[in-house]
Structure 1
Amino acid sequence: MVGKRQSRREAVSEHKRELILDAARQIFAEEGLDGASLRAIAVRAGYTPAALYFHFESKEAMYAEVLHASLESLGSAVDQAVSRTKTPQQKLKAAALSFFQFYAANPRDLDLGFYLFRGGMKPAGLGHDRDVRLNAALEAALRPIAEAAIALGAPQERANLLMVDCFAHAAGLLLLLHTGRIRMFGASAPDLMEAYVDERIAQLVQE
């Protein structure tokens, strides 16, 4: 009986936690990290601000959980795309394009990922331990790019640089896409991303 009561309490606690995170996700999407308040999150979740502290120590802790969930979804999307391919060339292309496509389809997740530049171009984190965990999740989502490059014969350092290059290229195109600036150039962000990846793969194969 005691075990059942404990399990029931844990289930209720987990349900409340998820409700709070859902509310936080909505408020962060609307207001950003700096603009969001614990009171607004509590009201959206249907709790008092004090109740939030039973589950999260701070607004930053909530943001980190929301962002980590987003990065895990990104990683899953990349892994699924890569699993449907066979050759290293296909895997590299699938990994890079699925990374781009995830954020192209989910601009709010892209906003979450750029929390480091809140308040302008001044990098700020969510606390050392949280930043390490989040960076590891992002690196895990990008890692299939490097792994495919290594399978094509690239040394580790070159493969890591390609992973960073793909991330930077995708981020730039996504910025142009979601702000509408890409229309100034009469170009297609997805087409440019695919052409870039094809070019990098061709370079690796020729070396």
Structure 2
Amino acid sequence: MEDRKAARQRRLAESKRQIILDAAREAFAEDGLEKASLRAIATKAGYTPAALYFHFSSKEAIYAELLRTSLHSLGESVAAAVDGADTAEARFRAAGMGFFGYYAANPSELDLGFYLFRGGMKPAGLDRDTDRELNAALEGALMPLAAAARDMGAGEEAAGLSMVNIFAHATGLLLLLHTGRIRMFGASAEALMAQYVEQQVAVLRAG
């Protein structure tokens, strides 16, 4: 059993890690991953740059940890949206709108997610295993769409394509929403997303 001193040290280390992650999120939001520096993150956290290495091996490792947490929250949000839906069509609708709704309500998470949306940032130093892990987490959050499509009678290829279609359409609308460009068209991003989800349901229903 963990003694009190070890437990206190563990809690302190966890607290310091969280302070660093919060500071990094702020730095990345201000400057992006490429321009944000370890020095800037350390300054915001109240530590020296050298102190950060006790908790993270690099700036990219910090970014990966933020993404891991973000994608876990996304997956939980989509799963919660699907929970209780009593038909395959209802699950498909709930998953599509749950994915869109999570990023519509959390624009900073969308900024983090764009690492994955643009296909990875290998030149920035993320190793192949981490890159694969994070992309798998994103795919996992979207899997309720494919599962619902299969339950509606779609084959593996059609189910996967419907998942990709929802993902691509949601991403485009989210960009329009969070950049304010949607106002140019006098439209509602949420309404357009719901309309597209219904179109995909109709395609799957038609077989």
TM category, shorter: over 0.9
Deviations 1:118-167 (A, max 9, x none): xxx89623221211111011011100000000000001111111111110
| 8 A contact 1:33–1:115 mirrored in 2 | no
What are structure 2's unaligned runs of at least 5 residues? none
| 1:123–1:5 CA distance, 2 compared to 1 (3 A) | closer
Determine the structure 1 residue equivalent to 2:203. 203
In 2, the alpha carbon distance for the partners of 1:142 and 1:163 equals 7
Residue 124 in 1 paired to residue 91 in 2? no
In 2, the alpha carbon distance for the partners of 1:132 and 1:16 equals 27
SS in 2 for 1:164: helix
In 2, the alpha carbon distance for the partners of 1:152 and 1:4 equals 54
Name which of structure 1's ranges 37-46 and 137-146 shifts more when overlaid on structure 2: 37-46
State the 1:186 CA deviation.
2.0
Name which of structure 1's ranges 44-53 and 175-184 shifts more when overlaid on structure 2: 175-184
In 2, the alpha carbon distance for the partners of 1:2 and 1:93 equals 46
Residue 169 in 1 paired to residue 169 in 2? yes
Which amino acid in structure 2 is aligned with residue 5 of structure 1?
Answer: K
Deviations 1:149-193 (A, max 9, x none): 000000111111111111001011111111122222222111111
In 2, the alpha carbon distance for the partners of 1:55 and 1:153 equals 48
In 2, the alpha carbon distance for the partners of 1:157 and 1:138 equals 19
Which amino acid in structure 1 is aligned with residue 111 of structure 2?
Answer: D
Residue 194 in 1 paired to residue 201 in 2? no
Determine the structure 1 residue equivalent to 2:181. 181
TM-score (norm 2): 0.93
Determine the structure 2 residue equivalent to 1:158. 158
TM-score (norm 1): 0.93
State the 1:95 CA deviation.
0.3
Determine the structure 2 residue equivalent to 1:79. 79
Give the alignment of 1:130-141 within 5 angstroms: 130-141=130-141
SS in 2 for 1:114: helix
In 1, the alpha carbon distance for the partners of 2:113 and 2:168 equals 13
| 8 A contact 2:116–2:135 mirrored in 1 | no
Name which of structure 1's ranges 121-130 and 140-149 shifts more when overlaid on structure 2: 121-130
Structure 1 runs of 4+ with >6 Å offset: none
| 1:122–1:164 CA distance, 2 compared to 1 (3 A) | closer
Determine the structure 1 residue equivalent to 2:111. 111
In 1, the alpha carbon distance for the partners of 2:116 and 2:72 equals 18
Determine the structure 2 residue equivalent to 1:54. 54
State the 1:2 CA deviation.
7.8
Determine the structure 2 residue equivalent to 1:19. 19
Percent identity (aligned): 58
| 8 A contact 1:23–1:45 mirrored in 2 | yes
Name which of structure 1's ranges 133-142 and 182-191 shifts more when overlaid on structure 2: 182-191
| 8 A contact 1:154–1:204 mirrored in 2 | yes
| 1:123–1:74 CA distance, 2 compared to 1 (3 A) | closer
What are structure 1's unaligned runs of at least 5 residues? none
Which amino acid in structure 2 is aligned with residue 169 of structure 1?
Answer: H
Determine the structure 1 residue equivalent to 2:93. 93
| 8 A contact 2:103–2:109 mirrored in 1 | yes
Equivalenced residues, count? 204
